Structure 1
Amino acid sequence: MGSYLQYRWEQSIASHLNKSEEEEIHLYDKGRICGFLWHVFSYETVACLEGEQARGRLDQMKNMSCYIFYEMDAAAYIIDRVTSLKAIDFERESDIYVVDVDFTWTYIRTHEPPWYNPYFYHHKEVERR
């Protein structure tokens, strides 16, 4: 299930990248370089909220269903009708993705704190660069 959700996430958030751009930002593993989907944010190809703004925006999310999955793991979770999510719930996680079931918003906590953490993207709130 995790692989499928990664694919859907990529199609929803990173589909604007061509192959050359994907390679440039190390979206996928290649040779000795480890790729990560969240590179769309760290390389600023998609505008997003970062740090405390990202945490605050996730804390505002209410009454929704979402998926939770990891970049390096096949595990995935479906959370149905959660009343609220809190960024603090994910502070000990790394390379974790939280996304609504329609893939319109996502929250990511990477393995590289404090440099690249966390990110929040909502397709209606930010524009692609």
Structure 2
Amino acid sequence: MILGFKNKLEEKGLIFNELEGKAGDFKKKWEEVFLNNISKSQKKKIKIDSFLWHIFSYEKLPCLKGEEAIEAFDKQTKKECYIFEQHEDNAFKVMNTHKLKAKDITTELGEYLSDIYIASSCFTWTYIVTHEKECGPYFYKKED
């Protein structure tokens, strides 16, 4: 599904490096970094294995939602980031991302058919677009 907007982003000057079979590694890293204070029992209760973004929909971590999330993501300084999907094996390292905006990763209808996770290359912030129209998008930035 990422390939659906990849061409559009390359036209904006973003550079994609496909990382075959690495999405699982990034999901694990995402969970280690952003969910480090959430107990195993809490993770199980909110079915984090199904969707990592449940941490936000179940309000276990404070985050920005909807238009506030979009605005925060668009304003966030971005140089390099990782993009992966919940149920895909490949991930992307994306460079030259200073022009990346939230509208670039949604369809013309403002929705997406998969769950897209974007994280800074050092995993200090994350932006998630979910497949469920009433959930998200979400933006979360770790405290310094």
TM-score (norm 2): 0.77
- Correspondence list, 1:57-76, <5 A: 57-76=72-91
**Secondary structure at the counterpart of residue 62 of structure 1:** coil
Name the structure 2 match of 1:111. 131
Moved over 2 A (4+): none
Provide the aligned length of Structure 1 versus Structure 2.
118
* Counterpart contact for 2:73–2:101, Cα < 8 Å: yes
Partner Cα separation in structure 1 for residue 59 and residue 51 of structure 2: 13
Deviation at 1:116, TM superposition (A): 0.4
Name the structure 2 match of 1:53. 68
Partner Cα separation in structure 2 for residue 25 and residue 39 of structure 1: 6
- Cα root mean square deviation, aligned: 1.3
With over 3 angstroms needed to count, the CA separation of the structure-2 counterparts of 1:81 and 1:45, relative to structure 1, is same
Structure having greater relative contact order (Cα 8 Å, sep ≥ 6): 2
Partner Cα separation in structure 1 for residue 70 and residue 78 of structure 2: 17
Gap regions ≥5 residues in structure 2: 1-21
Indicate the structure with greater helix content: 2
Deviates more, 1:96-105 or 1:62-71: 62-71
Q: Percent identity?
A: 38
Gap regions ≥5 residues in structure 1: 29-34
TM-score (norm 1): 0.86
Deviates more, 1:116-125 or 1:5-14: 116-125
**Secondary structure at the counterpart of residue 83 of structure 1:** helix
* Mapped pair 1:97 → 2:97: no
* Counterpart contact for 1:38–1:108, Cα < 8 Å: yes
Partner Cα separation in structure 1 for residue 80 and residue 29 of structure 2: 16
Partner Cα separation in structure 1 for residue 28 and residue 66 of structure 2: 25
Partner Cα separation in structure 1 for residue 38 and residue 78 of structure 2: 32
* Counterpart contact for 1:62–1:84, Cα < 8 Å: no
